[in-house]
A and B are shown apart, each in its own frame.
Chain A
Amino acid sequence: MADQARPDDRWRHVRVLFLAFLGLWLLFTLFPLYFMIITALKTTAETNLTVPTFWPELFAFGNFAAVFAEATNFDALIDSFVIATINTLLSLFLGTLAGYAFARFPRQAGGENLAFWILSNRMFPPVAILVPMFFLFDSTPWGTDSIWSLIILYLVFNLPLATWLMMVFFRDAPRELEEAAYLDGWTPLRAFLRITLPLVLPGMISVAMLCWIFAWNEYLFANLFVGTDVRTYTIVIPTFTHGSQTLWNLQMAFSLIAMIPPVTLFILLRRYMVRGLSLGVVKG
């Protein structure tokens, strides 16, 4: 046992350093979450102490109910969910078709440059189009204060990402499999649905996650566009700040509730998520 350990000894310092670094990293990433959770459980008085406490004096579970005293706060979660979900389905549908075209017919689809230009749409600062987009959507029949304005607007950000990633996944899926399907007698559409689509499914699921989380968490445009008929949860969070004080405990409680859908989705789909993001989607 002792001499087996010897080769490791040389690396002991490195390992200790590494573990220390990991510990610090964990602290750095988990502490905000921890503080969020305990803040959500504090009484309002306790959140206003000059010296913060790191463990609640008494657990105010009622906070989680109190955030829904305003009935529209729950509707905001529903609105956010509907917007994120419809936007994700649209991004996925259009992005898959476009990505397939760029992967399989690069010349007819406009070539590498067009594909990259589409991705570059994701690179400018969103605030640059904030005001123009407001006037643009304001001139539509349904105006800005509608779920459809945000559903369409978020395509500006999600569709390029979906197109680009799906293109990469389709490039990874061997063309020969489709050709083999043609020779089996399948038409191009049926070969696509039967053979190629199942191969890129893990990739599609990770794309869906990325799009959904973006649309779920978007604040900048939502804040300007909606607020009366439609409210997203992101614009509800600041409403816990009043003129003289911020209800930190309610704000954190609401934020924690808002974390439940994405975390649940991630846990359910993480198997695909990891496979999809590592890009090796079709390793047989």
Chain B
Amino acid sequence: MARLAIEGLCKGWDFPVIDDLSLDVEEGEFLVIVGPSGIGKTTLLRLVAGLETPDRGRILVGDRDVTRVPPYRRDVAMTFESYALYPHMTVAANIASPLKARRLPEDEIRRRVGEVTRLLRIDMLLERKPGEISGGQKQRTALGRTLVADPQVFLLDEPISHLDARIRHELRSQFHTLEDLRRVATVYVTHDYAEALSLGDRIAVMGNGGRLVQVGNPRELFEQPATLFVAEHLGQPTINAIEAELVDVDDRLEAHAGSLRLPIAPAHRAALTKVQQRQVTIGLRPQHLRPSDELPQGVALEGRIDIFEALGSTGVMIVDAGGVRLTALTSPERTFDHGADVTLAWNPEALYFFSPVDGRNILL
């Protein structure tokens, strides 16, 4: 068991896929790398697995520098997005593959394959071929093949994104409970932010240009997003981003967007005065924008309902407020009419301020 350290990793010169990326994953930590499709998450995993060679930087497993070690001597296990099960072998043979490679005795192999398949509840499929089992079962088989190897580092590439919702949920809860995954350093890649918030001990958000935008525990990332990118991607529904200008009105500070006037909380005002920026992108989470009777202590704003959706556990409305489209949440049992006027309330303390140039959180 060991920790994984990535130091200044680079891949690709002209168009960097991974650019000067450093990351530590502690022994027993479950780190989720999250980011939109095609951003280099899979490349990062392939670099750690040894399937690609970095142009610069080091990869350490424990104290051992594995940067130039071929994948079959790295003691790193990885699941592929496509599962990559061997189509001509049975489920049992697929899972036994890493043990066979280590030349373990037959009965030891049988015992460990039995253990892992019982844990993943695929022990009744041992003699089937991958073509004869469902997507969820294929995923479990692929997972079994990595678990059985007892490696130093686990790499999981979008392990459950292609499954239907119910099985995805079931497997997601299994990731919480699999002891083996929780004992060693695990890197889990996904584009699904709910998955990231649910599973990660820590989350690393990957952005354009092969860099990590922010690394932290789920709470931190949600409450103190380093950039608009992070704020937009963590949290459902998406945060309201309002292009606004800061204007001094008498002794107060207001944000003007269209005909919308948003008073700035005194705590924010002091900080904003210091950075001297007038054009900002204001972030307001839909959770903090509600019908005024649900948030009596908030500041009111008037608007007209464009769309209302009752989603069961919550209601979502999209409101036109003085030319700005805002998303607000309501409690689930209420209904609203399209086109009706509504008074919303929000809490000035809950605003985020991002630079319209680079999306940085100005107050962080």
Contact = CB atoms under 8 A, between A and B. Distances in A.
A183 B82 contact: no
B149 A185 contact: yes
Contacts of A183: 49, 51, 71-72, 74, 76-78, 98, 146
Q: What DSSP secondary structure best describes chain A's contact surface?
A: helix
Contacts of B129: 284
B97 interface: yes
Contact of A184 (B70, B88, B98): B98
Contact of B101 (A174, A179, A184, A282): A184
A174 B82 contact: yes
Contacts of B87: 177, 199, 282, 284
Nearest to A196: B86
Contact of B130 (A181, A186, A284): A284
Interface centre among B74, B80, B149 (most CB of A within 10 A): B80
Given A185-B98, A186-B101, A180 B84 contact: yes
A284 B89 CA distance: 11
B332 interface: no
A182 B88 contact: no
Interface string B36-53: 000000000000011100
Nearest to A198: B88
Contacts of B76: 183
Give the contact-size bracket for chain A: 20 to 34
Contacts of A177: 84, 86-87
Nearest to A284: B87
Nearest to B50: A182
Interface string A179-195: 11111111110110001
A174 B84 CA distance: 8
Interface in A148-196: 174, 176-177, 179-188, 190-191, 195
A184 B82 contact: no
Give the contact-size bracket for chain B: 20 to 34
B266 to A, nearest CB: 56
A78 B127 CA distance: 44
Interface string A104-122: 0000000000000000000
Interface string B127-168: 001110000000000000110010000000000000000000
Contacts of A186: 72, 97, 101
A176 B82 contact: yes
B102 A185 contact: yes
B139 to A, nearest CB: 14
Contact of A182 (B51, B82, B86, B146): B51
Interface string A79-112: 0000000000000000000000000000000000
B84 A176 contact: yes
Interface in A121-139: none
A174 B98 CA distance: 19
Contacts of B86: 177, 180-181, 195
Contact of A185 (B49, B72, B78): B72
A191 B50 CA distance: 15
A284 B145 contact: no
Interface centre among B74, B78, B80, B84 (most CB of A within 10 A): B84
Interface string B79-94: 0101011111000000
- Nearest 6 interchain pairs by C-beta: A284-B87, A185-B101, A180-B84, A184-B98, A182-B71, A176-B84
Given A184-B145, A185-B73, 6 more contacts: A183-B72, A183-B78, A184-B97, A184-B101, A186-B101, A284-B130
